[in-house]
A and B are shown apart, each in its own frame.
Chain A
Amino acid sequence: MQKRSFLKALSSSVLLSSTSTLLHAQTKAIRVGSTLSLTGPLAGTAVMHKIAGEIFIEQLNKRGGLLGRPVEWIVKDDQSKPDLARTLYEQLISGDNVDLLMGPYATANSLAAMGVAQRNGKVLITNSFGIPSLAKYDMHFPAYVMGIDPGTTVPNTLLEAIAASGAKPQSVAMVTSKFPSVVFLSVGAREVFKKRGLREALWLEWEFGNRDFGPIASRLKEANADVVWVGSIGPESIQLLEAMNKIDYKPKIHFHLYPTPGPLAQSPLAANALSVSTFEQHAPFTNNPAYAEVFKMYNERAAKANLPDTAFEIQAANAYTGWQFLEAGVKGAGSLEDAKIAAFLKKNRVDTIVGKVRFDGPNNYGDDLNRIKQLQNGKWLVVHPKDSAFPGSKLNF
């Protein structure tokens, strides 16, 4: 009798325990792991990705999370170092046992993370991968929607924008940082400019982290080309513009590839600077009222984080887009299995803050959504093509 009671009690407790485990598993947070360059030379831009990601997670959890479970974002600091990013992604998968991955910031770190994701069969969504031809992993999905060949499409869009303004440049001076994704695009642009008949007045490269832009500015002044292409990242554009101003040189048409937007917007020296963007915080990009709260939250948090430019622009938009891919993939697949998520994304277009995105091209790249923006009266405004341009804006030189 005693034995039967004991067995009953045991079976009840096992049942209770397994039910509670099941319930716990259903409500247990889905863990998404990623690194970001919270310190180091890329930190100035990566902080925008962090703010945008945090806003997305908050909103996602308010909507009920994924598959009925809350979502937790584990973000580690890769210190802007690809080798550390690689180690941390290994740690996220094997130590933290994350369910899903999100990519780091910048090309080199993304490439490092891609190797780890591939080895472990995990989906990797990157939001700032700048060399599409290197993204060979078939479960990698790029949220910087730049098409497979931005080295051709970006300079062509730039030349179209210049031509639409009525200007007819004959020569180009190209100076570029050797930062991998930057020099890649500058080399592509060099070929495009040659093919389109522009005389190359200067080609110069500098190491990322260069301090003295005086001699580069002097050589640009001496080249005196109609168009100046600045293959820059981070503060390099503002440093070069300051060096140009010092020697009283103001280029007629100047394009900057990936400058940190804030300091450039604040500097009068950067007036009429051109750049690329998939998103700026103005109409028609902000026409969808569903995102009004996102912009408000981002503007407030960016101000609190002391960012010089608090606008929700390309960097924040790319980060937000990446998270939208993840949400669409998991919900579409109805599963946390990476292969199912990848299969869903490949077959479907995802509606995001930057527009509808497809992954059916080479290396899962679709269209190039880059537009040309210009700094006018301290604000970045998309000016080309017309359907994305700020209403009433036009290219100024």
Chain B
Amino acid sequence: MPSAGLLFQALASGVFLGSLYGLIGLGIGLGWGLLRQINLAHFAWVFLSAYITYELKTRLGVDPLLSLLLLVPVFAALGMAVQSLLMRFAITPFNSLLVTFGMTVSVEALLQWIWSADYRRMASLYEEHKFRLGSVVVTYSETITFCLSLLLAGLVWWLLKKTDVGKSVRACAEDPEIATAFGINAKRLSIWLAGLCAGLAACAGVCVALMFTLAPSQIFTWVGVIFAAVMIGRLGSALTPLIGGLVIGIIESMTMALIAPTWAPLVAFMVLILILLLRRSDE
């Protein structure tokens, strides 16, 4: 019988990992739901940001949180540039999957060229420092990831629900022609939204660098679980990717602690299928 300590530690581990799933899924879900693009390059931006964070910290001693000041605007600009390109060539949603897959492969090759295929780990005080919540040990890096995920999900929710820009974005996603008829510049909005998604990827990249060992090939190991988190939620929503991420993360961790680590992905994806089936029968 597992101890209470083991259970609570596994629960905490699931919550923190799930919040990172949610943070990565937030950008994917927004792009998918509001821009109608399945943007696989989002994973490439996350890892590119993680490697730059690693480089800034290792070479120049820049605090990972301070590097956000540089990374967010740079990645936002990158996302906007890519979106302009996609719009210029009128890429369809399905083709966006192929094009962004190509970008991801290119970024993987770039990472391997610059940092080699070997594993990199960023030494950081945030990972070394920890505190206890009862019997549960929590590192600063996990706390930062959790808080950043909550903060950004809340911010995006506020932006979409409470501001005119957000309402315009939702209107464009629902019916672009009518929205344009009401004077909304759909093209400009979608470029700004792509910038926001890439900025979110930059934030997630910092968290990945804080919590994980980096290798270029790991880009693709995140795809399945993040898509599961996004699909558990609702496309284009600000809060549901976080909820989906937490569900997947907690299920994975508890399965590892109570049953066996090999069962974790299986159980998580079975829950996803179950949720999708139940949701379909509700409709």
Give per-residue flags for B117-148: 1 if the beta carbon is below 8 A from chain A beta carbons, else 0.
11111000001001000000101000000000
Question: Given the complex, which residues of A lie within 8 Å of B119, measured CB to CB?
Answer: 44, 234-235, 238, 260, 262-263, 308
**By the criterion CB–CB under 8 Å, are A39 and B213 in contact?**
no
Q: Of B9, B112, B262, which is within 8 A of A218 by CB?
A: B9
**By the criterion CB–CB under 8 Å, are B17 and A211 in contact?**
yes
Q: Tell which of A65-73, A201-209, A277-285, A371-379 binds the partner.
A: A201-209
Q: Of B3, B217, B218, which is within 8 A of A222 by CB?
A: B3
Query: Which of B213, B221, B222: most chain A CB closer than 10 A?
Result: B213
Q: How close is A216's CB to chain B, nearest CB, in angstroms?
A: 6
Q: Of A209, A218, A239, A307, which is within 8 A of B221 by CB?
A: A209
A43-B217, A214-B9, A216-B256 as given contacts; A205 in contact with B118, CB under 8 Å: no
Q: How close is B251's CB to chain A, nearest CB, in angstroms?
A: 11
**By the criterion CB–CB under 8 Å, are B118 and A47 in contact?**
yes
**By the criterion CB–CB under 8 Å, are B262 and A219 in contact?**
no
Give per-residue flags for A215-248: 1 if the beta carbon is below 8 A from chain B beta carbons, else 0.
1101100100000000000110011001000111
Taken together as a complex, chains A and B put the C-alpha atoms of A374 and B198 apart, in Å, by 44
Question: Given the complex, which residues of B lie within 8 Å of A47, measured CB to CB?
Answer: 116-118
**By the criterion CB–CB under 8 Å, are A215 and B265 in contact?**
no
Taken together as a complex, chains A and B put the C-alpha atoms of A247 and B108 apart, in Å, by 33
**By the criterion CB–CB under 8 Å, are B10 and A43 in contact?**
no
**By the criterion CB–CB under 8 Å, are B117 and A212 in contact?**
no
Answer whether residue B168 sits at the interface, using C-beta atoms and an 8 A cutoff: no
Answer whether residue A305 sits at the interface, using C-beta atoms and an 8 A cutoff: yes
**By the criterion CB–CB under 8 Å, are A235 and B253 in contact?**
no
Answer whether residue A267 sits at the interface, using C-beta atoms and an 8 A cutoff: yes
Question: Given the complex, which residues of A lie within 8 Å of B262, measured CB to CB?
Answer: 178, 205-207
Taken together as a complex, chains A and B put the C-alpha atoms of A264 and B41 apart, in Å, by 30
Answer whether residue B66 sits at the interface, using C-beta atoms and an 8 A cutoff: no
Answer whether residue A366 sits at the interface, using C-beta atoms and an 8 A cutoff: no
Q: Of B2, B139, B261, which is within 8 A of A210 by CB?
A: B261
Answer whether residue A41 sits at the interface, using C-beta atoms and an 8 A cutoff: yes
Q: From B208, which residue of chain A is reached at the shortest CB distance?
A: A211
A214-B13, A234-B119 as given contacts; A204 in contact with B217, CB under 8 Å: no
Q: How many residues of A contact B (CB 8 A)?
A: 41
A214-B13, A218-B10, A222-B3 as given contacts; A267 in contact with B265, CB under 8 Å: no
Question: Given the complex, which residues of B lie within 8 Å of A46, measured CB to CB?
Answer: 117
Within 8 A of A (CB), among B209-260: 212-213, 215-218, 221-222, 249, 252-254, 256-257, 260
Question: Given the complex, which residues of B lie within 8 Å of A219, measured CB to CB?
Answer: 2, 6, 256-257
Question: Given the complex, which residues of A lie within 8 Å of B10, measured CB to CB?
Answer: 214-215, 218
**By the criterion CB–CB under 8 Å, are B112 and A39 in contact?**
yes
Q: From B212, which residue of chain A is reached at the shortest CB distance?
A: A211
Answer whether residue B97 sits at the interface, using C-beta atoms and an 8 A cutoff: no
Answer whether residue B109 sits at the interface, using C-beta atoms and an 8 A cutoff: yes
A211-B212, A248-B137 as given contacts; A308 in contact with B130, CB under 8 Å: no
Taken together as a complex, chains A and B put the C-alpha atoms of A211 and B207 apart, in Å, by 14
Q: How close is A174's CB to chain B, nearest CB, in angstroms?
A: 13
**By the criterion CB–CB under 8 Å, are A205 and B217 in contact?**
no
Question: Given the complex, which residues of B lie within 8 Å of A207, measured CB to CB?
Answer: 261-262, 264-265
Question: Given the complex, which residues of B lie within 8 Å of A260, measured CB to CB?
Answer: 118-119
Q: Of A206, A215, A266, which is within 8 A of B13 by CB?
A: A215
Question: Given the complex, which residues of B lie within 8 Å of A178, measured CB to CB?
Answer: 262
Q: How close is A253's CB to chain B, nearest CB, in angstroms?
A: 22
**By the criterion CB–CB under 8 Å, are A216 and B261 in contact?**
yes
**By the criterion CB–CB under 8 Å, are A44 and B137 in contact?**
no
Question: Given the complex, which residues of A lie within 8 Å of B253, measured CB to CB?
Answer: 212, 214-215
Q: How close is B83's CB to chain A, nearest CB, in angstroms?
A: 28
Question: Given the complex, which residues of A lie within 8 Å of B115, measured CB to CB?
Answer: 306
Q: How close is A348's CB to chain B, nearest CB, in angstroms?
A: 36
**By the criterion CB–CB under 8 Å, are A263 and B260 in contact?**
no
**By the criterion CB–CB under 8 Å, are B261 and A222 in contact?**
no
**By the criterion CB–CB under 8 Å, are B256 and A39 in contact?**
no
Taken together as a complex, chains A and B put the C-alpha atoms of A55 and B121 apart, in Å, by 29
Answer whether residue A109 sits at the interface, using C-beta atoms and an 8 A cutoff: no
Question: Given the complex, which residues of A lie within 8 Å of B17, measured CB to CB?
Answer: 211-212, 214
**By the criterion CB–CB under 8 Å, are B221 and A211 in contact?**
yes
Give per-residue flags for B1-32: 1 if the beta carbon is below 8 A from chain A beta carbons, else 0.
01101100110011001000000000000000
Question: Given the complex, which residues of B lie within 8 Å of A391, measured CB to CB?
Answer: none
Answer whether residue A107 sits at the interface, using C-beta atoms and an 8 A cutoff: no
Question: Given the complex, which residues of A lie within 8 Å of B127, measured CB to CB?
Answer: 242
**By the criterion CB–CB under 8 Å, are B118 and A263 in contact?**
yes
Answer whether residue A180 sits at the interface, using C-beta atoms and an 8 A cutoff: no
Q: From A40, which residue of chain B is reached at the shortest CB distance?
A: B217
Question: Given the complex, which residues of B lie within 8 Å of A263, measured CB to CB?
Answer: 118-121, 213
A39-B108, A178-B262, A222-B6 as given contacts; A238 in contact with B213, CB under 8 Å: yes
Taken together as a complex, chains A and B put the C-alpha atoms of A247 and B134 apart, in Å, by 12
Q: How close is A247's CB to chain B, nearest CB, in angstroms?
A: 5
Give per-residue flags for A1-45: 1 if the beta carbon is below 8 A from chain B beta carbons, else 0.
000000000000000000000000000000000000011110110
**By the criterion CB–CB under 8 Å, are A44 and B116 in contact?**
yes
**By the criterion CB–CB under 8 Å, are A39 and B116 in contact?**
no
Pairs across A and B, CB under 8 Å, 7 listed: A44-B118, A80-B217, A215-B257, A219-B6, A263-B213, A266-B121, A306-B116
Show the binding face of B for A, using Cβ within 8 Å.
Answer: 2-3, 5-6, 9-10, 13-14, 17, 108-109, 112, 115-121, 127, 130, 137, 139, 212-213, 215-218, 221-222, 249, 252-254, 256-257, 260-262, 264-265
Nearest first, the 6 A-B pairs at minimum CB distance are: A43-B117, A214-B13, A215-B256, A206-B261, A215-B257, A44-B118
Apart from A41-B217, A44-B117, A47-B116, list 13 A-B contacts with CB within 8 A. Answer: A44-B118, A44-B119, A206-B261, A209-B221, A211-B212, A214-B256, A215-B13, A215-B257, A219-B257, A239-B213, A306-B118, A307-B118, A308-B118
